[in-house]
Amino acid sequence: MENFENSNLTEIESKLNTDYKKGLTEDEVNQRLKTGGKNVLPTKKPTPWYVVFGWSLIEPLQIILMVAAVISVIAPRFGRWSDSITFEEFIDFIVIALIVLLDAVLQTVQTVKARKSVDALKSLSKPQAVVIRDGSQKEIDAENLVVGDIVVLEAGKYVPAELRIIESSDLMVDESILTGESLPVEKTHEKQKVTTILAEMANVVFMSTFTTAGRAIGVVTKTGVNTEIGKISTTINENADQETPLEKKLKKFSYLISVVAVIIGVIIFGAMLVTGQKDSWATYLIIAITLAIGVIPESLSAVVSITLSFSTKRMVKENVIVKKLASVETLGSVNVICTDKTGTLTQNKMTVKRMIWNNKIITDEEFIATTLDEHKDFMLKGLVLPNDSVVEDDARMGDPTELALVDFALKMGVDETLSRNTWQRMDEIPFDSERKLMTTVNNVNGDNIIFTKGAIDQLLNVTSRILIDNQIQTLTAAMKKEILNNATKLSDQALRVLAFAYNDGYDDLDNQDDLEQNLIFIGAVGMIDPVRQEAVQAIAEAYNAGIRVVMITGDHATTALAIARDLNLAYTEYEVMSSDVLESLSDVDLLRIIDNIKVFARVNPEHKVRIVNLLQQKGNIVSMTGDGVNDAPSLAKAEIGVAMGIAGTDVAKQAADVILTDDNFGTIMKGVNEGRNVFQKIRRSIVLLMGFNFANVLTILILSLINHTAPLDAVDILYVNLVVESCLAIAIGMGNLDPTLMKLPPKQGGSGLLAGLLIPILKIMIISTIISLISFYVGMAFTPSEFVSHISGDTDKWWVVINDNIYSVEQKTEVIIYGRTSLFITIVFAPLFFSHFIKLSNWKASNKIDWKISTPLVYAALIAFVLNLAFIFIPGLNDQIFKLLGYENLDCDKFGWNQNNLGLFFAAFGLAILPACGILLWDAITFYAYHWSHEAWQRNRKIVSKMVEEDKKIALAKSKKNRKKI
């Protein structure tokens, strides 16, 4: 692509085959539209809802569940293919299928809702452009611009395409959305050297930037996809959607569980075949497949989706829109946040912070507090009279620097519109880049008063006197030096200095030559785009949570460092790296030092992507926040892109995974907290599901090897997995947030879902297995001897029937019905109690016990309690579906549920409470061991460490306070 920066105007006119005075003809425009296309940005076609739904159905865990569903139908029919098919055989299949469909629907609905929320944030207006065509000036839709069009730019207009300036008059352009520059930059039509740094292309204006002052005419050199913003948008659209860390972990977890299930099934089948009756292989295969199904947490996918869905709803209330469910968890995993400065960490609003007043540096608050006298009165008039900006309600029109002066005057009750109407402008000399001054003559109480503002060095050249303590004095060389030294101090703090002067008794309005001569120096202001206070707090929260914040900006290093100091982000120039140094380093060299760099200054969009990529190479999970077009590629590259919803561009919102509707950097920490809690809740659910599933499988394995028949049917296991456990696991996901998680460092990117969960899972598995085995044999103790003899035909001892291979598998299955019922009662009621104690608590965070009760979990336990009673005691459900003790399935009333054997229920129910007691005792011992069982010297060391940390915080606060006094 040809560069026009270093070409003269005649060459450009010839190369583009255009006419600067007449512009293009309509025929030429139509021809170029056909060949070059419309001036529109590429947009990525949204994925249809049915495709999202389809992809949700073929995720690894969903496929496993559907395979389990099919097996649940096929497995029981081994050896009896000729039997008639009944509805009961499809109950397991229907339940699992419904779980899979529910999960897919939730994911689809959330994705579509997030997409609509993003669309609602986009501007509905079509940009317009003023062009010269066929020798006349007209306004057209910007999308119809072509290369060679002559475009007229005025203050307050968006740049409709990429233009080479051919004529300019004090043109200032806000390029912050593209370059990150917080202040408007001056543009010229003069020939420039070719450069790759966008912020230094002084004779080119870029599409979607904003003119703040002046006027210009430019020729279109690039449109649509060929513009800088178009290239960025194309890059984003070409990027494939990345899997979130949670999606990767779930996929890995699914593969692991499937392998474990197959291994368990093979081992159980082989063991039973070796130790049992060879002709009962079909029954053993059913048992093996049933246990394999029991390992798989069928409800986990639904639990994850529902937990994420509830979190996204909560986050909407916190001004966070999540475009993808799994992105919630990714926020919690982030350990590096890369953030743009302008508009994200700062207010994107120039503000007066310091004053040079009576040859001293004072704060803006100190000046506001001074008594109104003649000196201050001249200063207030100087703020608003040589000033063209206007503030009306929420509308702000004008140069950001002039707007800052109007805002400052308004704090002292001076309204710019009223002042200009009262003291009318009689004459003026507009600002230009050579003089760097602006002068107006205003009629103040019948006298013509000159007011001048501008760069302090230029203004001092035209002043001969100074106003100090209401006394006009001769401005000596020593005074000028002192003023310049003070100005340098402010500049070193990245403050932009603007000086003011006046003169009175001017009557010759026809002669402007003397307007800027022999002026009286009033004072000067130091302005900066101040930091957001919520950003300061958010960075402190991030530090406490073990998250590193890196600022990436297009501003100069001095300005960036000053802002970083105010944010408590960086303190020395060694922590700042400019783009020229960045470009000089190879990736290998940069990787060695990147952990020490907290601020990257003067960067281009490609630099941001490189920085994010290198941080990812070091094993970090990176979040990028921003609002401009220049942030979009890095937003797409990062694991989690966070865009600003109000000031953010459509391109940034399109690239991001999360959008902050209040443009508050502090809101991202609420998202991090929610994300960490989501991950913790999912892990708690996994502990419940896997710990209890393994306990049930281990119990059934042991009893099956002893008895050569399964103590529970597949439908019993699926009821526990899909109803009881799902009810509780979903309620865990709806529970309260754990604030202690923000005191811990984030999980490492490579850590899986099961990292650190082995002990909690083993704890539940061991305790539950022991209690379940006891429950089975307690139930067998309730078995009537007449019932055993009725089945065996010769013995009334149940242990003889289940241990002697002369009895068939069918006889063994019938004789264990009391043990089966007791075991079922214990395993369906046990999680209702111990699920409340699966806290995965941060023992190190506090020595105080969190006694909060999860209301959703209590309600879920009550619902499951009622369902359990129904399935245990309602005829037809207990005996026909679950093959439990009933009223009619044992040929005699005295062998079913009756007043003589209700003790079995209470015994099994009592045993169901014991796992909760065991887990609570285990946790109590752990808590005591960490906080109270240390030797005296260990406790003292902890106390000293805590005091050292507090001293560091106090020292940091003092350092911050001292910097503010400078």
- Are 398 and 390 in contact by the 8 Å Cβ rule? The answer is yes
- Are 318 and 667 in contact by the 8 Å Cβ rule? The answer is yes
**How does 671-696 read in b/e, with b if 16+ C-beta sit within 10 Å?**
bbbbbbbbbbbbbbbbbbbbbbbbbb
Eight-state DSSP code of residue 629: G
Measured distance CA(63)–CA(257) in Å, rounded: 12
SS3 274: helix
Measured distance CA(668)–CA(691) in Å, rounded: 34
Alpha helices (H) along 122-244: 176-179, 228-238
Q: Which residues pair with 519 in a beta bridge?
A: 463
**How does 140-179 read in b/e, with b if 16+ C-beta sit within 10 Å?**
bebbbbbbbbbbbbebebebbbbbbbbbbebbbbbbbbbb
Q: Which of 453, 409, 398 is nearest to 431 (CA)?
A: 453
Q: Distance of alpha carbon 267 from its chain centroid, rounded?
A: 44
- Are 550 and 600 in contact by the 8 Å Cβ rule? The answer is yes
In order of 266, 353, 526, 598, the CA distances from 356 in angstroms are 84, 11, 8, 32
3-state secondary structure 924-944: HHHHHHHHCCCCHHHHHHHHH
Phi, psi of 438 (to 5 degrees): -135, 135
Measured distance CA(484)–CA(913) in Å, rounded: 80
Measured distance CA(664)–CA(122) in Å, rounded: 18
> Of 149, 340, 555, 631, which residue is the catalytic one?
340
Phi, psi of 194 (to 5 degrees): -70, 135
Pairing of strands 437-444, 471-474: unpaired
**How does 224-250 read in b/e, with b if 16+ C-beta sit within 10 Å?**
bbbbbbbbbbbbbbeeeebebbbbbbb
Query: Does residue 340 carry a catalytic annotation?
Result: yes
Measured distance CA(419)–CA(441) in Å, rounded: 13
Which residue type sits at 398?
G
Q: Which residues pair with 137 in a beta bridge?
A: 132
Measured distance CA(599)–CA(607) in Å, rounded: 13
Q: Which residues contact 22 (CB under 8 A, 6 or more apart)?
A: 132, 134, 135
Q: Active-site positions?
A: 340
